[in-house]
Amino acid sequence: MFEDVAYGLPTALAVCVILLGVCLLLGMLNIRLSKNYAAFRSLARKRARKIADSNRMFRMAEEIAGLGVWQYSPHREKQSWSQGMKTLFGLAADEVVMPGDMETLLSSNGIDLIDAVTKASQIGQELSTQYSILRLDGQKRLLDVRATKTKNRIGQTSRFTAVLVDVTDQAQRESDLETSRELAVRQAQEARELAETDPLTGLANRRRIMAVLDQLVIKARQDGQALCMILFDIDHFKNVNDTYGHPAGDRVLKRIAQIACEQARKEDIVGRIGGEEFVWIVPGADMTFARVISERLRQAIAMGSGVGNMPAVTVSVGFASPEAGDTSLTLFAHADEALYEAKNSGRNNVRMAA
Protein backbone atom coordinates (compact mmCIF):
# COMPACT_ATOMS: atom_id res chain seq x y z
CA MET A 1 0.00 0.00 0.00
CA PHE A 2 2.78 2.42 0.93
CA GLU A 3 4.42 1.63 -2.31
CA ASP A 4 1.28 2.58 -4.14
CA VAL A 5 1.08 5.85 -2.24
CA ALA A 6 4.71 6.57 -2.78
CA TYR A 7 4.29 5.85 -6.43
CA GLY A 8 1.16 7.97 -6.71
CA LEU A 9 2.64 11.15 -5.24
CA PRO A 10 5.26 11.67 -7.89
CA THR A 11 2.62 11.08 -10.52
CA ALA A 12 0.28 13.63 -9.01
CA LEU A 13 3.09 16.13 -8.73
CA ALA A 14 4.00 15.57 -12.32
CA VAL A 15 0.43 16.13 -13.40
CA CYS A 16 0.28 19.32 -11.36
CA VAL A 17 3.47 20.56 -12.92
CA ILE A 18 2.13 19.83 -16.36
CA LEU A 19 -1.14 21.58 -15.62
CA LEU A 20 0.73 24.53 -14.19
CA GLY A 21 2.86 24.68 -17.29
CA VAL A 22 -0.19 24.51 -19.49
CA CYS A 23 -1.79 27.32 -17.50
CA LEU A 24 1.32 29.44 -17.80
CA LEU A 25 1.50 28.72 -21.51
CA LEU A 26 -2.15 29.59 -21.99
CA GLY A 27 -1.64 32.73 -19.96
CA MET A 28 1.28 33.74 -22.12
CA LEU A 29 -0.70 32.94 -25.25
CA ASN A 30 -3.66 34.92 -23.92
CA ILE A 31 -1.40 37.89 -23.19
CA ARG A 32 0.10 37.68 -26.66
CA LEU A 33 -3.31 37.27 -28.27
CA SER A 34 -4.60 40.21 -26.25
CA LYS A 35 -1.67 42.32 -27.41
CA ASN A 36 -2.12 41.19 -31.00
CA TYR A 37 -5.84 41.89 -30.84
CA ALA A 38 -5.21 45.30 -29.36
CA ALA A 39 -2.64 46.00 -32.08
CA PHE A 40 -5.07 44.74 -34.72
CA ARG A 41 -7.84 46.94 -33.36
CA SER A 42 -5.49 49.93 -33.30
CA LEU A 43 -4.40 49.24 -36.89
CA ALA A 44 -8.00 48.79 -37.98
CA ARG A 45 -8.97 52.08 -36.34
CA LYS A 46 -6.06 53.85 -38.04
CA ARG A 47 -7.01 52.41 -41.40
CA ALA A 48 -10.65 53.32 -40.84
CA ARG A 49 -9.61 56.88 -39.98
CA LYS A 50 -7.44 57.04 -43.08
CA ILE A 51 -10.27 55.76 -45.25
CA ALA A 52 -12.67 58.23 -43.66
CA ASP A 53 -10.16 61.05 -44.13
CA SER A 54 -9.62 60.00 -47.75
CA ASN A 55 -13.36 59.92 -48.35
CA ARG A 56 -13.76 63.37 -46.82
CA MET A 57 -10.90 64.72 -48.92
CA PHE A 58 -12.38 63.06 -52.01
CA ARG A 59 -15.82 64.56 -51.35
CA MET A 60 -14.22 67.94 -50.70
CA ALA A 61 -12.28 67.72 -53.95
CA GLU A 62 -15.46 66.74 -55.81
CA GLU A 63 -17.32 69.69 -54.31
CA ILE A 64 -14.58 72.21 -55.05
CA ALA A 65 -13.93 70.97 -58.57
CA GLY A 66 -17.59 70.43 -59.35
CA LEU A 67 -17.03 66.86 -60.48
CA GLY A 68 -18.43 63.40 -59.93
CA VAL A 69 -17.11 59.88 -60.44
CA TRP A 70 -19.06 57.16 -62.20
CA GLN A 71 -17.95 53.52 -62.19
CA TYR A 72 -19.21 50.47 -64.02
CA SER A 73 -18.28 46.81 -63.66
CA PRO A 74 -19.01 44.89 -66.90
CA HIS A 75 -18.90 41.49 -65.20
CA ARG A 76 -21.28 42.46 -62.42
CA GLU A 77 -23.27 44.77 -64.73
CA LYS A 78 -23.36 47.30 -61.93
CA GLN A 79 -22.71 51.02 -61.90
CA SER A 80 -22.02 53.25 -58.94
CA TRP A 81 -22.13 57.00 -58.32
CA SER A 82 -20.03 59.15 -56.06
CA GLN A 83 -21.53 61.90 -53.91
CA GLY A 84 -20.39 64.40 -56.53
CA MET A 85 -22.39 62.63 -59.22
CA LYS A 86 -25.52 63.18 -57.18
CA THR A 87 -24.74 66.87 -56.85
CA LEU A 88 -24.14 67.19 -60.60
CA PHE A 89 -27.64 65.93 -61.29
CA GLY A 90 -29.29 67.99 -58.54
CA LEU A 91 -29.69 65.25 -55.93
CA ALA A 92 -29.06 65.66 -52.20
CA ALA A 93 -25.74 64.20 -51.06
CA ASP A 94 -27.46 61.90 -48.54
CA GLU A 95 -30.10 60.71 -51.00
CA VAL A 96 -29.97 57.01 -51.76
CA VAL A 97 -29.63 56.35 -55.48
CA MET A 98 -30.53 52.92 -56.83
CA PRO A 99 -29.14 51.56 -60.12
CA GLY A 100 -32.52 52.09 -61.77
CA ASP A 101 -32.53 55.72 -60.63
CA MET A 102 -29.07 56.21 -62.11
CA GLU A 103 -30.11 54.83 -65.48
CA THR A 104 -33.28 56.95 -65.45
CA LEU A 105 -31.39 60.18 -64.70
CA LEU A 106 -28.84 59.46 -67.40
CA SER A 107 -31.27 58.29 -70.08
CA SER A 108 -33.63 61.22 -69.47
CA ASN A 109 -30.73 63.46 -70.53
CA GLY A 110 -29.89 61.31 -73.55
CA ILE A 111 -26.82 59.81 -71.88
CA ASP A 112 -25.82 56.15 -72.13
CA LEU A 113 -22.44 56.02 -70.46
CA ILE A 114 -22.26 52.24 -70.50
CA ASP A 115 -22.73 52.14 -74.26
CA ALA A 116 -20.38 55.09 -74.79
CA VAL A 117 -17.46 53.69 -72.78
CA THR A 118 -17.95 50.22 -74.26
CA LYS A 119 -17.87 51.48 -77.84
CA ALA A 120 -14.84 53.66 -77.15
CA SER A 121 -13.06 50.69 -75.58
CA GLN A 122 -13.84 48.45 -78.54
CA ILE A 123 -11.95 50.79 -80.89
CA GLY A 124 -9.09 51.26 -78.45
CA GLN A 125 -9.97 54.77 -77.34
CA GLU A 126 -10.85 56.47 -74.09
CA LEU A 127 -14.13 58.31 -73.96
CA SER A 128 -13.91 62.09 -74.11
CA THR A 129 -17.12 64.00 -74.76
CA GLN A 130 -19.57 66.54 -73.40
CA TYR A 131 -23.24 66.30 -72.46
CA SER A 132 -25.84 68.97 -71.83
CA ILE A 133 -28.14 68.01 -68.98
CA LEU A 134 -31.19 69.33 -67.19
CA ARG A 135 -30.79 68.86 -63.45
CA LEU A 136 -33.65 67.89 -61.20
CA ASP A 137 -33.77 71.48 -59.94
CA GLY A 138 -34.28 72.76 -63.48
CA GLN A 139 -30.77 74.08 -64.09
CA LYS A 140 -29.18 73.49 -67.48
CA ARG A 141 -25.57 72.43 -67.12
CA LEU A 142 -22.75 71.30 -69.40
CA LEU A 143 -20.73 68.26 -68.32
CA ASP A 144 -17.31 67.28 -69.61
CA VAL A 145 -16.83 63.50 -69.51
CA ARG A 146 -13.52 61.63 -69.52
CA ALA A 147 -13.50 57.86 -69.05
CA THR A 148 -10.88 55.14 -68.81
CA LYS A 149 -10.82 51.42 -68.10
CA THR A 150 -9.00 49.19 -65.63
CA LYS A 151 -7.85 45.68 -66.56
CA ASN A 152 -7.35 42.66 -64.31
CA ARG A 153 -4.29 40.39 -64.25
CA ILE A 154 -5.42 38.42 -67.28
CA GLY A 155 -6.04 41.51 -69.38
CA GLN A 156 -9.81 41.67 -69.13
CA THR A 157 -11.61 44.94 -68.47
CA SER A 158 -12.64 44.86 -64.85
CA ARG A 159 -13.97 48.38 -64.45
CA PHE A 160 -14.77 51.56 -66.36
CA THR A 161 -14.28 54.83 -64.50
CA ALA A 162 -15.58 58.16 -65.76
CA VAL A 163 -15.00 61.59 -64.30
CA LEU A 164 -17.75 64.11 -65.03
CA VAL A 165 -16.94 67.80 -64.55
CA ASP A 166 -19.39 70.69 -64.59
CA VAL A 167 -17.86 73.06 -67.15
CA THR A 168 -20.93 75.29 -67.56
CA ASP A 169 -19.32 78.38 -66.05
CA GLN A 170 -16.06 77.76 -67.86
CA ALA A 171 -17.87 77.34 -71.18
CA GLN A 172 -19.79 80.57 -70.51
CA ARG A 173 -16.56 82.42 -69.71
CA GLU A 174 -14.97 81.09 -72.88
CA SER A 175 -18.05 82.06 -74.87
CA ASP A 176 -18.02 85.55 -73.35
CA LEU A 177 -14.29 85.82 -74.03
CA GLU A 178 -14.77 84.74 -77.65
CA THR A 179 -17.63 87.21 -78.02
CA SER A 180 -15.45 89.96 -76.55
CA ARG A 181 -12.58 88.97 -78.84
CA GLU A 182 -14.84 89.03 -81.90
CA LEU A 183 -16.22 92.38 -80.81
CA ALA A 184 -12.71 93.74 -80.31
CA VAL A 185 -11.64 92.46 -83.74
CA ARG A 186 -14.75 93.93 -85.33
CA GLN A 187 -14.25 97.26 -83.59
CA ALA A 188 -10.59 97.31 -84.59
CA GLN A 189 -11.60 96.55 -88.17
CA GLU A 190 -14.22 99.27 -88.09
CA ALA A 191 -11.74 101.71 -86.59
CA ARG A 192 -9.21 100.81 -89.27
CA GLU A 193 -11.83 101.22 -91.99
CA LEU A 194 -12.86 104.56 -90.55
CA ALA A 195 -9.24 105.64 -90.43
CA GLU A 196 -8.82 104.64 -94.08
CA THR A 197 -12.20 105.72 -95.45
CA ASP A 198 -13.48 109.08 -96.63
CA PRO A 199 -16.53 109.70 -94.42
CA LEU A 200 -18.50 111.59 -97.09
CA THR A 201 -18.17 109.30 -100.11
CA GLY A 202 -17.20 106.00 -98.46
CA LEU A 203 -14.18 105.76 -100.77
CA ALA A 204 -10.65 105.01 -99.68
CA ASN A 205 -8.94 108.09 -98.26
CA ARG A 206 -5.46 109.39 -99.05
CA ARG A 207 -3.88 107.27 -96.30
CA ARG A 208 -5.34 104.06 -97.69
CA ILE A 209 -4.56 105.01 -101.29
CA MET A 210 -0.88 105.68 -100.58
CA ALA A 211 -0.51 102.46 -98.59
CA VAL A 212 -1.96 100.38 -101.44
CA LEU A 213 0.00 102.32 -104.04
CA ASP A 214 3.23 101.56 -102.18
CA GLN A 215 2.53 97.84 -102.43
CA LEU A 216 1.45 97.94 -106.07
CA VAL A 217 4.46 99.96 -107.22
CA ILE A 218 6.82 97.49 -105.53
CA LYS A 219 4.95 94.55 -107.07
CA ALA A 220 5.02 96.17 -110.52
CA ARG A 221 8.77 96.71 -110.17
CA GLN A 222 9.37 93.10 -109.10
CA ASP A 223 6.96 91.31 -111.45
CA GLY A 224 6.95 93.70 -114.38
CA GLN A 225 3.16 94.00 -114.06
CA ALA A 226 1.51 97.02 -115.64
CA LEU A 227 -0.01 99.65 -113.36
CA CYS A 228 -1.86 102.89 -113.94
CA MET A 229 -2.77 105.75 -111.64
CA ILE A 230 -5.56 108.10 -112.73
CA LEU A 231 -6.17 111.43 -111.00
CA PHE A 232 -9.33 113.42 -111.75
CA ASP A 233 -10.56 116.70 -110.35
CA ILE A 234 -13.99 118.34 -110.59
CA ASP A 235 -13.83 121.45 -112.73
CA HIS A 236 -14.91 124.75 -111.10
CA PHE A 237 -16.18 122.99 -107.98
CA LYS A 238 -15.96 126.21 -105.99
CA ASN A 239 -18.69 127.67 -108.20
CA VAL A 240 -20.93 124.73 -107.30
CA ASN A 241 -20.56 125.44 -103.58
CA ASP A 242 -20.95 129.17 -104.04
CA THR A 243 -24.01 128.86 -106.29
CA TYR A 244 -25.89 125.90 -104.87
CA GLY A 245 -24.45 125.65 -101.37
CA HIS A 246 -22.26 123.12 -99.64
CA PRO A 247 -24.99 120.48 -99.18
CA ALA A 248 -25.41 120.42 -102.96
CA GLY A 249 -21.63 120.27 -103.30
CA ASP A 250 -21.56 117.22 -101.05
CA ARG A 251 -24.22 115.54 -103.19
CA VAL A 252 -22.11 116.19 -106.27
CA LEU A 253 -19.05 114.65 -104.63
CA LYS A 254 -21.07 111.55 -103.75
CA ARG A 255 -22.41 111.32 -107.30
CA ILE A 256 -18.91 111.54 -108.79
CA ALA A 257 -17.75 108.81 -106.40
CA GLN A 258 -20.68 106.62 -107.51
CA ILE A 259 -19.94 107.10 -111.22
CA ALA A 260 -16.23 106.35 -110.71
CA CYS A 261 -17.01 103.12 -108.83
CA GLU A 262 -19.36 102.07 -111.64
CA GLN A 263 -16.50 102.49 -114.13
CA ALA A 264 -13.95 100.63 -111.99
CA ARG A 265 -13.35 96.89 -111.88
CA LYS A 266 -13.57 94.82 -108.71
CA GLU A 267 -9.79 94.73 -108.27
CA ASP A 268 -9.39 98.48 -108.85
CA ILE A 269 -9.25 101.03 -106.06
CA VAL A 270 -11.13 104.33 -106.16
CA GLY A 271 -10.47 106.99 -103.56
CA ARG A 272 -10.96 110.60 -102.62
CA ILE A 273 -7.69 112.24 -101.66
CA GLY A 274 -9.01 115.61 -100.65
CA GLY A 275 -11.53 118.29 -101.62
CA GLU A 276 -12.79 117.62 -105.15
CA GLU A 277 -9.81 115.46 -106.18
CA PHE A 278 -10.17 111.71 -106.75
CA VAL A 279 -7.88 108.85 -107.70
CA TRP A 280 -8.41 105.59 -109.57
CA ILE A 281 -5.70 102.94 -109.33
CA VAL A 282 -5.86 100.30 -112.05
CA PRO A 283 -3.56 97.27 -111.65
CA GLY A 284 -2.61 95.57 -114.94
CA ALA A 285 -3.50 98.60 -117.11
CA ASP A 286 -0.96 99.84 -119.64
CA MET A 287 -0.96 103.37 -121.00
CA THR A 288 -3.18 102.53 -123.98
CA PHE A 289 -5.86 100.98 -121.80
CA ALA A 290 -5.44 103.78 -119.25
CA ARG A 291 -6.21 106.41 -121.90
CA VAL A 292 -9.37 104.54 -122.94
CA ILE A 293 -10.79 104.19 -119.44
CA SER A 294 -9.79 107.74 -118.48
CA GLU A 295 -11.73 109.11 -121.44
CA ARG A 296 -14.66 106.84 -120.66
CA LEU A 297 -14.70 108.13 -117.07
CA ARG A 298 -14.62 111.76 -118.23
CA GLN A 299 -17.58 111.21 -120.54
CA ALA A 300 -19.58 109.26 -117.93
CA ILE A 301 -19.24 112.11 -115.44
CA ALA A 302 -20.07 114.79 -118.01
CA MET A 303 -23.25 113.00 -119.03
CA GLY A 304 -24.31 111.48 -115.71
CA SER A 305 -23.44 113.94 -112.96
CA GLY A 306 -26.44 116.28 -113.43
CA VAL A 307 -29.26 114.10 -112.13
CA GLY A 308 -32.27 115.31 -110.19
CA ASN A 309 -31.64 118.74 -108.75
CA MET A 310 -27.85 118.36 -108.88
CA PRO A 311 -25.85 120.54 -111.30
CA ALA A 312 -23.90 118.82 -114.06
CA VAL A 313 -20.11 118.98 -113.69
CA THR A 314 -17.06 117.93 -115.67
CA VAL A 315 -13.66 116.61 -114.62
CA SER A 316 -10.08 117.01 -115.76
CA VAL A 317 -8.10 113.78 -115.85
CA GLY A 318 -4.39 112.97 -115.71
CA PHE A 319 -2.85 109.49 -115.70
CA ALA A 320 0.60 107.92 -115.38
CA SER A 321 2.33 104.57 -115.14
CA PRO A 322 5.44 103.90 -113.06
CA GLU A 323 8.81 104.10 -114.75
CA ALA A 324 12.03 102.46 -113.59
CA GLY A 325 12.97 103.81 -110.17
CA ASP A 326 9.54 105.30 -109.48
CA THR A 327 8.01 105.16 -106.02
CA SER A 328 4.43 105.76 -105.03
CA LEU A 329 5.25 109.40 -104.38
CA THR A 330 6.97 109.98 -107.76
CA LEU A 331 4.17 108.14 -109.58
CA PHE A 332 1.65 110.35 -107.80
CA ALA A 333 3.64 113.41 -108.84
CA HIS A 334 3.67 112.32 -112.51
CA ALA A 335 -0.13 111.81 -112.51
CA ASP A 336 -0.58 115.17 -110.78
CA GLU A 337 1.50 116.92 -113.47
CA ALA A 338 -0.71 115.35 -116.13
CA LEU A 339 -3.83 116.52 -114.26
CA TYR A 340 -2.40 120.04 -114.00
CA GLU A 341 -1.80 120.02 -117.76
CA ALA A 342 -5.40 118.90 -118.40
CA LYS A 343 -6.69 121.83 -116.34
CA ASN A 344 -4.40 124.27 -118.10
CA SER A 345 -5.63 122.92 -121.45
CA GLY A 346 -9.19 124.09 -120.86
CA ARG A 347 -10.43 121.44 -118.41
CA ASN A 348 -12.86 118.58 -119.21
CA ASN A 349 -10.11 116.64 -120.96
CA VAL A 350 -7.56 113.86 -120.42
CA ARG A 351 -3.79 114.13 -120.39
CA MET A 352 -1.07 111.47 -120.06
CA ALA A 353 2.09 112.04 -118.04
CA ALA A 354 5.09 112.87 -120.18
Residues noted as catalytic: 276
DSSP 284: T
Those residues with Cβ within 8 angstroms of residue 265's Cβ, 6 or more apart along the chain or in another chain: 282
Give whole-number Cα distances, 260 to 117, 203, 277, in Å: 65, 10, 12
Calpha distance 295→164 (Å, rounded) = 72
Calpha distance 118→149 (Å, rounded) = 9
Q: How far apart are the first and last CA of the chain?
A: 165
Those residues with Cβ within 8 angstroms of residue 6's Cβ, 6 or more apart along the chain or in another chain: none
Calpha distance 148→151 (Å, rounded) = 10
Those residues with Cβ within 8 angstroms of residue 204's Cβ, 6 or more apart along the chain or in another chain: 196, 197, 198, 212, 269, 270, 271, 272
